[in-house]
Amino acid sequence: MERVILIGDSIRMGYQETVRRELEGVAEVWGPARNGGDSANVRAHLDEWVLRETAAVLHINCGLHDIKKPFDSGLAQVPLDEYEANVRDIFSRLRDRWPGTVVWTTTTPVNEELHHRNKGFDRFEADVAAYNAAALSLAREFGLEIDDLFAVMTAAGPADHLNEDGVHFSPAGYEVLGRAVAAALRPYLTGNGT
């Protein structure tokens, strides 16, 4: 049976079981037990999590941790130019050393008002848009496949699916995301069940 690797933050951890269920009998779905965190962390663990592994498809994202800003600081955890450099390095190493299909996925929406009230730092919608745009530009430059989970959740209605922390999702929201991820991966799996 073919194998799929999912790399991402707590959003990935939330939809991973749905992807596993959706692809049962088609592919083994694996992701690290640890939260992928920001782009610097994904870059640092790329060998361990991906390059030493064998799989037909890699579904990968980072961004939500990069855009974290301490209250009233205006300073992102990973500034946009560093994020772009990290993502470029990740894509370069994947192109040069990993034979499977790479699917980049966009960062999901946030509700910045709920987030500000319920978390100890900010995340802003404008940053989600800017970091998504930068990563999508690089993904296209490298000829990667794209799974636009930002668009999926925007269409599903973030207000209906976001938890009160403004960033994580209800079980129904993770179902929406997991089904979308599985649908995005199926075309790259030989026993895709279609």
Considering only residues 41 and 72, tell me which one the structure prediction assigns the higher pLDDT: 41
52-74 residue pLDDT tens: 999 999 999 999 999 999 999 99
- Written as six digits, the tokens of 51 are 């390059």
pLDDT band at 137 (very low <50, low <70, confident <90, very high): very high
Q: Which amino acid is at 8?
A: G
Closest listed residue to residue 144, CA positions, set 182, 194, 186, 87: 87
pLDDT band at 190 (very low <50, low <70, confident <90, very high): confident
Q: The pTM is what?
A: 0.95
Q: What is the DSSP string of 79-117?
A: -HHHHHHHHHHHHHHHHHH--SEEEEEPPPP--HHHHHH
Percent above pLDDT 70 for the chain: 98
Angstrom distance (rounded) from CA 142 to CA 135 = 11
91-117 residue pLDDT tens: 999 999 999 999 999 999 999 999 999
> 104 - beta bridge partners?
60, 146
Angstrom distance (rounded) from CA 162 to CA 151 = 14
The four Cα atoms 74, 127, 185, 36 give a dihedral, to 10 degrees, of 0
Q: Where are the domains of the chain?
A: 2-188
CATH architecture of the domain with residue range 2-188: 3-Layer(aba) Sandwich (3.40)
